[in-house]
Amino acid sequence: MIQRNQGTNLITSQNTLVIIPANGNYNDDSVPVSLLPLGGKPLICHAIDTARQLAENIEICISSSDINVIKTVNNYGLRVPFKLPQELYTNMFDVDEIILHAIDHYARKELNFDTLVLLSPYSPFCQSNHILDAAVFLEADIEMVAGVKVLTQATGQYYLTENQEGYLQKHTDVPESNGEKVYNYNNAFAILKTSAIRQYPRSFFRRISKYVMDNTASIFVENMDDLMRCEQILRGD
């Protein structure tokens, strides 16, 4: 088991809940993508290893309604705190209700968290150092810090640039460059204020800072081709 990082810049687990939503994303064999093996263990276990370098087990929340995901996580030594009600699941990109469900669960136990780390089980090369480095940007006025990658091709529902205040702003079309960089969210992780998500959905956030990740760290596994690419990277091919 990977031990929790003891560095001075560690996100304090007393204030932070790590949420890993894993549900409803299946490959052609009807196996949850989060359970596909990479480097000898399921994808979700890579996310758990990363989370354990940020917080203690009690502050790591796997949110899933899939019994096989829950069994796998429990067998990996991390207790799943609840089975997510199926009606809450929408899709892996729209998880606000899942976040609120998780923090309400802990609040009923009188466990309240100032900060949330939303960590993807589909981004195996997102490491704890990325999140720790990004946490520096979560200043008093910031609602969220999110992982992004530099746009290399025009894909996605919207595109991101920075405004004059340094916050990310969305565009439905690729904006004219004017010398500024354009980004996509890579969906690897986000760090957000609990107070912000309690007030309004993330789509209403206006004070979002970026954390730029390279193409390897930004890999998001959706299918077997993505998984094969990850295996090649692990082998150094």
Write down the pLDDT at residue 87. Answer: 76
Write down the pLDDT at residue 8. Answer: 40
Q: Residue 167 corresponds to which tokens in the numbers above? A: 């916050």
Long-range pairs for 72-77 at CB < 8 Å and ≥24 separation?
72/35, 72/42, 72/44, 72/45, 73/44, 73/48, 76/45, 76/48, 77/1
Q: Residue 113 corresponds to which tokens in the numbers above? A: 């968290």
From first to last of its 237 residues, what are the pLDDT tens digits of the chain? 233 333 444 455 558 999 999 975 665 567 889 999 999 999 999 999 999 999 999 999 999 989 999 999 999 999 999 998 877 765 545 689 999 999 999 999 999 999 999 999 999 999 999 999 999 999 889 999 999 999 877 666 778 999 999 999 998 887 666 667 899 999 999 999 999 999 999 999 999 999 999 999 999 998 899 999 999 999 987
Strands of 172-230 (E only): list them. Answer: 183-193, 208-212
DSSP 8-state assignment for residue 26: B
Q: How many helices (H) and strands (E) does the chain have?
A: 6, 10
Distance in angstroms (rounded) separating the CA atoms of residues 147 and 187: 7
Closest CA to 182 of 222, 217, 157, 153: 153
The model's pTM: 0.89
Distance in angstroms (rounded) separating the CA atoms of residues 64 and 111: 20
Per residue, the 3-state secondary structure of 83-152, as one string, reads CCCHHHCCECCECHHHHHHHHHHHHHCCCCCCEEEEECCCCCCCCHHHHHHHHCCCCCCCCEEEEEEECC
Cβ-Cβ contacts under 8 Å for 107 (sequence gap 6 or more): none
Cβ-Cβ contacts under 8 Å for 43 (sequence gap 6 or more): 33, 34, 35, 36, 37, 121, 122, 124, 221
Q: Which CATH architecture has domain 16-149+185-235?
A: Alpha-Beta Complex (3.90)
Q: Residue 12 corresponds to which tokens in the numbers above? A: 């304090």
Write down the pLDDT at residue 189. Answer: 97
Write down the pLDDT at residue 179. Answer: 67
Asked if residue 23 lies in contact with residue 65, where contact means CB atoms within 8 angstroms, the answer is yes
183-193/144-150 β-pairing: antiparallel
